[in-house]
Amino acid sequence: MTLTFQSDPDPDLDRGGPWRPDVSESGRRIHLRPEIALSWERSARSGVGRSAVNVPRSSGGDRPARLLRAAEAVIERLAGRLHGLPLAVVLADADARVVARRIGREDVRAWLDRLRIAPGSLLAEEIIGTNAVGCAVEERRPFVVVGAEHYRMNLGRLSTRAVPVRHPVTGVVKGALALACRTEDDNVLMLPLVEEAAARIEARLADNITRQERLLLDRFLQVTRRSAGAVVCLNRDLLISNTLAGPLVSPADQPLLWDWATRVLASRDEYCGELRLAEGVVVHARCTTVRDDEVEAGILIEMRPRPAALGCAGPGVAHSRAGGGGSSCPLPGRSAAAERLRRELAAVAEARRPVLISGEPGTGKAFLARHLHELDGTGGVVTVLETGQCPDDPGAWFDRLRIGLAAPGTLVLRHIDELPAELALRAVSLVETADERAVRVIATARLAEHDDAATRLRDCFPARLQLPPLRQRVEDIPDLARAFVRDLAGHTPKPRLEPATLQNLMGQVWAGNIRELRTVLSSALMRSAGRDIAIKHLPPEYRTAPIRHRLTSLQRAEREAVLNALDDSGGNKQAAAELLGIARSTLYRKIRSLGIDGRCLSG
């Protein structure tokens, strides 16, 4: 199958612009509008078979009760107007799963059943290819697919007009409404008819807004009428912002703002202080809880930008889009730990003293060592010496150590805590006599301090950088994830991470730290095939978060102490309780309340 672009002289066919692709397939030419051609390309990348006929059905899950309540009367009325006509009304949810169908004539029912377009059928573009319902959900706009424009050949006689149904407050697509018929019964008036019906469903959704959402919206409107600054209202599920807040925050920042706000309001109803946003912008923020006598609806943040030097902000959100302290810093994140590490990295980079970088496996020690070499700007090569190779051939290893210490550039000694004690003592004399002006010596170790014979070798490295595990810097996960997606995606525009996906990633255990996060996102990018990354694109074991609620900073420290005790005791809960100085029953309560599960214990 080949795609080329050519002009089409027929203006009636040209719904998408003056140019369209022309598909040559088995000697047959199919004219496609540009938006249809893009969908065909996505379908092909998703591995959809053009000759396939099966349509997967939902394996379960909750039906969208709110959407169905709002749509029921509307689709019944529409079906009544279509009675006796060869048309069908199809309602799908946000996953393009058919949740309701109404038929104007019985022969249409049998025909759609043969095409497997029935309640429960999954019509997502990545599953069955180009179709109006799947494309309307995917592109979040009205979509028309007629006859041979369908990617699957068995849908060549189907014509469908679909319109997305959006949440009236957040604008999030909750589903799609479509009219379907045979191509010979197609009529351009179907689109305005389904657009009108979709608008009525959205109006009914507005009437059914929950008490919490209405309370949040009312407070947002009340504040924006009197405020001249940026205003954001949010809870776990939605984010509302005014025009002034638009350049500062995006929907993707919602999980981070929510996490920050719940921490600063953990023991109070109001917080005033400085908040650092994307691109180093510092704002004065007033954060308040939105509630009435019975319901806590969410949080309201009022922001006023003010001149501030980068790095002077208090506890806040940092670098959400820039992903770090600047173009020269490889450490995206907005946590206090990330800020500390950036400051220490800048200080270490200025002095060419031997550096020890410590941290758990997967925290990025080798990456940071290479970055320190780049910051030097003195050229030379990077020589990496694995201590694990030493016991096999100590003589060859020491020869490589001497050569590395004599060559201009950087020598990286990986995992010096695994070096046998007698060999570590021999290495001390070589490292101590190295010329710091000619070579920078960097070592990595799992632990910064340890009571063993290798301590003498660690003492040769006066500059220290301790990389915290990812579980201690949960606030940095969205920034790290976006940076990884930018690096891993091989095309433009770069896919985005949906807010729900970021929130899910923030609830994971991450025993493998940053390396594990990068691997998960690499897998998700392949599954998403260039689309924005949703929860369904994550590997199956990462689609539900074991930590069911966000923890405060104090709770995270407490959780870390429990995990360390369990690790030190080999998982023996009685021994762990004794190490912590608490009763075994108290330990069990802590394990449940702090979201600790089997994956944490094994990590």
3-state DSSP of 237-298: CCEEECCCCCCCCCHHHHHHHHHHHHHHCCCCCEEEEEEECHHHCEEEEEEEEEECCCCEEE
pLDDT at 41 over 80: yes
208 three-class SS: coil
278 and 321 in contact (C-beta within 8 Å)? yes
What is the model's pLDDT at position 310?
A: 37
What is the model's pLDDT at position 309?
A: 37
> Long-range contacts made by residues 184-192, C-beta under 8 angstroms, separation at least 24?
184/157, 185/86, 185/87, 185/159, 186/146, 186/147, 186/159, 190/87, 190/161, 191/142, 191/144, 191/161, 191/163
pLDDT for 112-133, tens place per residue?
A: 999 999 999 999 998 899 999 9
Averaging pLDDT over each range in 459-473, 485-499, 559-573, which range is the top one?
A: 459-473
Tell me, what CATH number does 129's domain have? Answer: 3.30.450.40
Judgement on whether residues 202 and 114 belong to the same structural domain of the protein: yes
Let me know if residue 330 belongs to a domain. no
Q: Which residue has the higher pLDDT, 351 or 532?
A: 532
The pair of three-digit structure tokens given for residue 274, joined into one six-digit string? 């400085």
H helix or E strand, kind and range, residue 373: helix 365-376
Q: Is residue 599 very low, low, confident or very high in pLDDT (cuts 50, 70, 90)?
A: very low
Let me know if residue 58 belongs to a domain. no
Tell me, what CATH number does 247's domain have? Answer: 3.30.450.20
pLDDT at 598 over 50: no
Least confident of 16-25, 298-307, 554-563, 582-591: 16-25
Q: Is residue 205 very low, low, confident or very high in pLDDT (cuts 50, 70, 90)?
A: confident
Judgement on whether residues 459 and 477 belong to the same structural domain of the protein: no
Judgement on whether residues 172 and 225 belong to the same structural domain of the protein: no
pLDDT for 353-385, tens place per residue?
A: 888 999 989 999 988 888 888 887 666 788 888
Please list the residues that pair with 166 across neighbouring strands: 173
Ordered strands of the 88-93 beta sheet: 98-103, 88-93, 173-182, 158-166, 143-146
Least confident of 41-45, 181-185, 242-246, 447-451: 447-451
On the question of a cis peptide bond just before residue 493, with omega within 30 degrees of 0, the verdict is yes
What is the model's pLDDT at position 521?
A: 94
Judgement on whether residues 494 and 477 belong to the same structural domain of the protein: yes
The pair of three-digit structure tokens given for residue 80, joined into one six-digit string? 């009544």
- Helices first, then strands: H and E counts in the chain: 20, 18
pLDDT at 399 over 90: no
Judgement on whether residues 570 and 511 belong to the same structural domain of the protein: no
208 and 226 in contact (C-beta within 8 Å)? no
pLDDT at 523 over 80: yes
Gyration radius of the chain's alpha carbons:
29
Let me know if residue 321 belongs to a domain. no
Q: Is residue 202 very low, low, confident or very high in pLDDT (cuts 50, 70, 90)?
A: very high
Tell me, what CATH number does 561's domain have? Answer: 1.10.10
Q: Is residue 16 very low, low, confident or very high in pLDDT (cuts 50, 70, 90)?
A: very low
Residue length of the chain = 603
* Sole residue written with tokens 């510092």: 282
Judgement on whether residues 373 and 436 belong to the same structural domain of the protein: yes
Judgement on whether residues 181 and 74 belong to the same structural domain of the protein: yes
The greatest distance separating any two alpha carbons of the chain, rounded to the nearest whole angstrom, comes to 94
Among residues of the chain, what percentage have pLDDT more than 70? 82
Ordered strands of the 28-31 beta sheet: 2-7, 19-25, 28-31
Task: From 542, 577, 592, give the residue that closes a domain.
Answer: 542
Ordered strands of the 381-386 beta sheet: 381-386, 409-414, 439-445, 355-359, 463-467
Q: Which residue has the higher pLDDT, 220 or 275?
A: 220
pLDDT for 228-238, tens place per residue?
A: 889 999 887 77
Judgement on whether residues 378 and 431 belong to the same structural domain of the protein: yes
| Alpha-carbon distances, residue 417 vs 18, 340, 452 (angstroms) | 66, 24, 9
Q: Which residue has the higher pLDDT, 596 or 228?
A: 228
Let me know if residue 92 belongs to a domain. yes
pLDDT at 318 over 70: no
Phi, psi of 428 (to 5 degrees): -60, -45
Of 8, 165, 192, which Cα lies nearest the Cα of 99?
165
Question: What mean pLDDT value characterizes the chain?
Answer: 80
What is the model's pLDDT at position 327?
A: 37
Q: Is residue 425 very low, low, confident or very high in pLDDT (cuts 50, 70, 90)?
A: confident
Average pLDDT over residues 473-489: 87
H helix or E strand, kind and range, residue 357: strand 355-359
Q: Spell out where 397-540 has E strands.
A: 409-414, 439-445, 463-467
* Sole residue written with tokens 């309370």: 215
Q: Which residues 6+ apart lie within 8 Å of 81 measured at CB?
A: none
Least confident of 65-79, 84-98, 116-130, 267-281: 267-281
Q: Is residue 78 very low, low, confident or very high in pLDDT (cuts 50, 70, 90)?
A: very high
595 and 549 in contact (C-beta within 8 Å)? yes
Residue 116's CB is within 10 A of a number of other CB atoms, namely: 18
Phi, psi of 89 (to 5 degrees): -100, 130
47 three-class SS: coil
Q: Which residue has the higher pLDDT, 320 or 583?
A: 583
Ordered strands of the 282-291 beta sheet: 239-241, 230-234, 296-305, 282-291, 270-276
What is the model's pLDDT at position 61?
A: 54
Count of domains in the chain? 6
pLDDT at 7 over 80: no
pTM above 0.85, yes or no: no
Judgement on whether residues 197 and 241 belong to the same structural domain of the protein: no
Expressed in angstroms, the distance from the first to the final Cα of the chain is 48
Let me know if residue 72 belongs to a domain. yes
CA 309, 314, 319, 325 dihedral sign is: positive
Q: Is residue 452 very low, low, confident or very high in pLDDT (cuts 50, 70, 90)?
A: low
90 three-class SS: strand
Q: Spell out where 28-132 has E strands.
A: 28-31, 88-93, 98-103
Q: At what angle do helices 499-506 and 254-264 cross, to 10 degrees?
A: 50
What is the model's pLDDT at position 50?
A: 92
pLDDT at 216 over 90: no
H helix or E strand, kind and range, residue 441: strand 439-445
Measured distance CA(39)–CA(126) in Å, rounded = 9
Of 312, 241, 246, 245, which Cα lies nearest the Cα of 275?
312
Judgement on whether residues 343 and 297 belong to the same structural domain of the protein: no
Measured distance CA(49)–CA(490) in Å, rounded = 24
Q: Which residue has the higher pLDDT, 320 or 413?
A: 413
Phi, psi of 547 (to 5 degrees): -90, 105
Of 557, 558, 518, 560, which Cα lies nearest the Cα of 539?
518
Tell me, what CATH number does 531's domain have? Answer: 1.10.8.60
Task: From 207, 235, 261, give the residue that closes a domain.
Answer: 207
Judgement on whether residues 477 and 390 belong to the same structural domain of the protein: no
Let me know if residue 327 belongs to a domain. no
Q: Is residue 143 very low, low, confident or very high in pLDDT (cuts 50, 70, 90)?
A: very high
Let me know if residue 50 belongs to a domain. no
Q: Which residue has the higher pLDDT, 338 or 118?
A: 118
Least confident of 22-26, 96-100, 507-511, 519-523: 22-26
Q: Is residue 388 very low, low, confident or very high in pLDDT (cuts 50, 70, 90)?
A: low
Please list the residues that pair with 463 across neighbouring strands: 355
Q: Spell out where 42-105 has E strands.
A: 88-93, 98-103
Q: Which residue has the higher pLDDT, 389 or 47?
A: 47
Q: Is residue 179 very low, low, confident or very high in pLDDT (cuts 50, 70, 90)?
A: very high
The pair of three-digit structure tokens given for residue 528, joined into one six-digit string? 């998403």
The pair of three-digit structure tokens given for residue 307, joined into one six-digit string? 């001149």
pLDDT at 315 over 60: no
Judgement on whether residues 442 and 557 belong to the same structural domain of the protein: no
pLDDT at 501 over 60: yes
Let me know if residue 456 belongs to a domain. yes
What is the model's pLDDT at position 314?
A: 40
Among residues of the chain, what percentage have pLDDT more than 90? 26
Average pLDDT over residues 68-73: 91
Q: Which residue has the higher pLDDT, 17 or 416?
A: 416
Classify residue 415 as left (phi > 0), alpha (psi -120 to 50) or beta: left
384 three-class SS: strand
Least confident of 168-177, 341-350, 391-400, 436-445: 391-400
Please list the residues that pair with 122 across neighbouring strands: 97
Task: From 305, 324, 346, give the residue that closes a domain.
Answer: 305
Average pLDDT over residues 40-46: 88
Could you tell me the residue range of the domain that residue 74 belongs to? 65-207
